A = this chain, B = another copy of it.
Amino acid sequence: MTVEVISIGTELLLGQIVDTNAAWLSARLAEVGVGVYRRTTVGDNLTRIVAALREALERADGIVAIGGLGPTDDDLTREAIAELLGEPLVLDEGEAARLHEFFATRGRTVNERQLRQAMRPRSAQTIPNPHGTAPGLYAEWHSKPIFALPGPPNEFQPMVVDAVLPRLAQRAGGCVIRSRVLRLCGIGESDAEAQLQDLISSSNPTLAPLAKLGEVHFRITARADSPDQAEQMIAEMEHAVRARIGAYIFGVDETTLEQAVVQSLIEAGQSLAIAESCTGGLLGHRITSVAGSSEVFLGGVISYSNALKEALLGVPREVLQAHGAVSEPTAQAMAEGARQRLGSWWGIGITGIAGPGGGTPEKPVGLVYVGVSDPTGTVVKRQVFPGDRATVKYRATQYALWLLYKGVKHGGCASLSPL
């Protein structure tokens, strides 16, 4: 089965935003055995949108349209589908009620424009949008499925997973496709590939590497006649991969490194406090992005200024004067200060130079010291990360999370020294 993806929005044709939705959707469709025949991007123009929808439906077995479902006059996807189907737009009572409630709980009333979002072609169904006001639409053209979803990724992605993939996978029928992603940290893509070369050449299940910032992912995809058979094939491949590089695998599928860290802390019954300088709060943000992190995460200090490193973390002034804020002793004092001042089992201290300014020959942009402390001791690691300010900040938090994960999993700081 093939579908076409149609991205709608003049801002796309003007190059003001990059269309990440289309690529993300294409990858999800491939995983369930649905091929993308062609992708099209059109502007906010009714005639052009209708033409693009019709042409795509004539080529492929269905379409997914993205964007143009908002409340404003240049949101025309509803009208385009209605014209394609030769149907009027009608008010969906359920969505209208939901909109009234949504605004009522915020002490506001729905205006005419907002209410447009509850309109749908007569034969269409609405697709619930838990994260926004614009519902999606499902309709059929000569029994070919038409999905229309709002563009904001935080609204779009869950709707694809909940409403689009199951229906398309069912239509694709026959052979089932299952996939699992193994997530690695602490090893480079080429090093990992070198150890898996023969497995990567397998045709079914396939093993495909994907390099992410600070991580390497391997996607196992199996095609089989039954779900059980596919799962069995995946399990065998995963076993083979783990036998070689299992030490670097922190999670599977959507498991993030921060989720793995929080889970390991909960299992160990150990708490965490952090002290961030160059990362400025990003480590705390990543940890607290995990629901339930409050069970083990006490909090932290963003000690951007030296005065705060002294006042809130007890970093000795002599250390700051003798070695500087970006130094091994300062990272150690920050990690231990976080533990002691905030009363946690684990303490992390991060200090470095995120750039673009502030670098010197001895202490270049990207230099980061990460201190990890627990009752068994304190370890400080030095790294020089490539990339811009945002990349250095992210890599520093990724490295700190990986050190902590290893430490928790292997019985404390002592286990980190060999790293």
Contact = CB atoms under 8 A, between A and B. Distances in A.
Interface of A: 10-20, 22-30, 35-44, 48, 52, 55, 70-74, 102, 105-106, 111, 113-114, 130-132, 152, 154, 179, 181, 189-190, 193-194, 200, 208-211, 213, 219, 221, 274, 276, 278-285, 287-289, 291-294, 297-305, 307-308, 311-312, 341-343, 354-357, 384, 386-391, 393
Contact of A190 (B72, B194, B390): B72
Contacts of A297: 280, 304
Contacts of A18: 18-20, 23
A355 B293 CA distance: 11
A213 B179 CA distance: 32
Nearest to A9: B210
Q: Which among A52, A281, A284 has the greatest number of chain B C-beta atoms within 10 A? A: A281
A41 B14 CA distance: 17
Given A279-B285, A281-B284, A298-B307, A23 B17 contact: yes
B285 A386 contact: no
B285 A388 contact: no
A282 B38 CA distance: 39
Contacts of A298: 304-305, 307-308
A302 B282 CA distance: 11
Contact of A294 (B25, B194, B293, B304): B304
A207 to B, nearest CB: 10
12 contacts: A11-B210, A15-B23, A16-B27, A113-B194, A132-B387, A281-B287, A285-B285, A289-B393, A291-B357, A298-B307, A299-B301, A311-B342
A332 to B, nearest CB: 19
Contact of A387 (B44, B131, B284): B131
A1 to B, nearest CB: 14
Given A26-B15, A219-B16, A299 B288 contact: no
